[in-house]
């Protein structure tokens, strides 16, 4: 089918065919191309006659009797009728809603899924302000301009297209910080806190609110989270989700982990702190002995250990860990 072969420039031009100005139509014809866009432009009622004639001469559709007199035309070769093209043109000129749906969903969806999609096309899709499949895939495409992502997120909506935009690697640090400064605990904020472009100051600001909400959990898990902010979370002495994630973060300072273990509590936060690679081995061993997890064969020799009881699996802790480690991006199944 002819329609299936249309490229993005054809769709963009024909979608707005009825609104094009004479200058825009003349500009298309000045390219001298013998294509569908030019053909439609030349036949548009708004097209300047001189521009249409010059284009037909350049593309060999008409000939002059006297090359020195541009007004004498002796031949016009009508282009053979393409039935698919005619149907398509009528659909455009009639303002068919079916064409609008066709152009904005099927064709554009295929385009925005292409990793090489033109950034201008992606930006155009984003400017529609819709939360449809086309917009969602466009906002996930790594070619999507950062300005377009920012424009979507500044609307302050909690929709799927915003979730996708905030997950994009091109999302600017300043925009992510703006999202977090709203102080919300929605998925847009959670994904902003998980983005590796998120600035450390913004993550610190979230954690200093002292909340144990989803956005705090994602902030404490971000590899950009500063050691000082993680230590502040652990100094609260709580055994909650934000503290668990802080204790697991590779940026967590050894002294903060040691401080947790010196409480000699047999809880989840202590167990996680003992397993962090930054935790000093001696502090971990002392905590294990204090909580009865390991025993010494000789009480006078602290280096001989004969038993270690693995901590039972905590279902809530496991769910939290999986949620953070395998954070699900918004569903994009059509």
**What's the start-to-end Cα distance of the chain, in Å?**
24
pLDDT of res. 327: 57
* Same domain flag for 215 and 334: yes
Are 105 and 90 in the same domain? no
Q: Are residues 67 and 143 in the same domain?
A: no
**Does residue 308 share a domain with residue 216?**
yes
- Quote the tokens at residue 329: 């991006």
Could you tell me if 45 and 126 lie in one domain? no
Q: Are residues 216 and 328 in the same domain?
A: yes
Handedness of CA 43, 47, 53, 57 (dihedral sign): negative
Strand pairing category for 294-296 and 73-76? unpaired
Q: Is residue 214 located within the same domain as residue 324?
A: yes
Pairing of the two strands 73-76 and 62-64: antiparallel
Same-domain status, 218 and 159: no
The answer as to whether 122 is a domain residue is yes
Domain boundary among 54, 70, 94: 94
The pLDDT value given to residue 302: 59
Q: What is the pLDDT of residue 313?
A: 55
Domain end (from 94, 116, 150): 94
The answer to whether 191 and 222 have CB atoms below 8 angstroms apart is: no
Q: What is the pLDDT of residue 71?
A: 57
In a domain, 317, yes or no: yes
Q: Domain check: are 59 and 101 in the same one? A: no
**200 within domain boundaries:** no
- Do residue 217 and residue 329 come from a single domain? yes
Residue 331 is assigned to a structural domain of this protein: yes
pTM over 0.95: no
User: Which residue, 141, 167, 193, sits at the end of a domain?
Assistant: 167
Mean pLDDT split into 10-residue runs, the chain, 334 residues: 43 52 86 82 84 84 62 48 55 52 55 89 89 92 95 94 95 97 95 96 96 95 96 95 96 97 94 96 93 72 52 62 59 46
172 inside domain: no
Could you give the CA distance from residue 221 to residue 213 in angstroms, rounded to a whole number? 13
Identify whether 11 is part of a domain: yes
Question: How many domains would you assign to the chain?
Answer: 3
Q: With respect to residue 192, please indicate whether it lies within any of the assigned structural domains.
A: no
Domain range for 229 is 210-334
Residue 114 lies in a domain: yes
Quick one: 260 and 224 in the same domain?
A: yes
Indicate whether 310 and 220 sit together in one domain.
Answer: yes
pLDDT recorded at residue 289: 92
């Amino acid at each position: 089918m002819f329609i299936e072969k249309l490229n993005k420039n054809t769709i963009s031009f024909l979608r707005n065919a009825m609104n094009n100005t004479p200058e825009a139509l003349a500009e298309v014809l000045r390219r001298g191309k013998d294509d569908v866009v030019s053909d439609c432009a030349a036949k548009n009622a708004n097209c300047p006659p001189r521009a249409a004639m010059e284009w037909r001469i350049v593309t060999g559709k008409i000939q002059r009797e006297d090359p020195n007199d541009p007004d004498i035309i002796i031949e016009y070769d009508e282009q053979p009728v393409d039935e698919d093209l005619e149907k398509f043109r009528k659909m455009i000129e009639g303002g068919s809603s079916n064409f609008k749906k066709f152009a904005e969903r099927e064709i554009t969806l295929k385009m925005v899924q292409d990793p090489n999609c033109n950034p201008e096309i992606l930006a155009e899709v984003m400017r529609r302000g819709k939360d449809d499949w086309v917009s969602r895939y466009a906002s996930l495409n790594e070619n999507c301009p950062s300005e377009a992502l920012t424009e979507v997120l500044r609307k302050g909506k909690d929709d799927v297209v915003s979730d996708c935009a905030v997950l994009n690697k091109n999302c600017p640090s300043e925009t992510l910080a703006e999202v977090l400064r709203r102080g919300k605990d929605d998925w847009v904020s959670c994904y902003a806190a998980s983005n590796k472009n998120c600035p450390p100051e913004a993550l610190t600001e979230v954690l200093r609110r002292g909340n144990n909400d989803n956005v705090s959990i994602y902030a404490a898990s971000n590899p950009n989270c500063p050691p000082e902010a993680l230590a502040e979370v652990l100094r609260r002495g709580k055994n909650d989700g934000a503290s668990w994630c802080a204790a697991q973060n590779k940026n967590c300072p050894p002294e903060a982990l040691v401080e947790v273990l010196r409480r000699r509590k047999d809880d989840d936060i202590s167990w996680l702190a003992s397993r962090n690679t930054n935790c000093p081995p001696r502090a971990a061993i002392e905590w294990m002995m204090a909580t009865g997890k390991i025993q010494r064969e000789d009480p006078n020799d602290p280096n001989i250990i004969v038993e270690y009881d693995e901590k039972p699996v905590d279902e809530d802790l496991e769910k939290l860990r999986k949620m953070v480690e395998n954070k699900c991006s918004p569903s994009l199944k059509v």
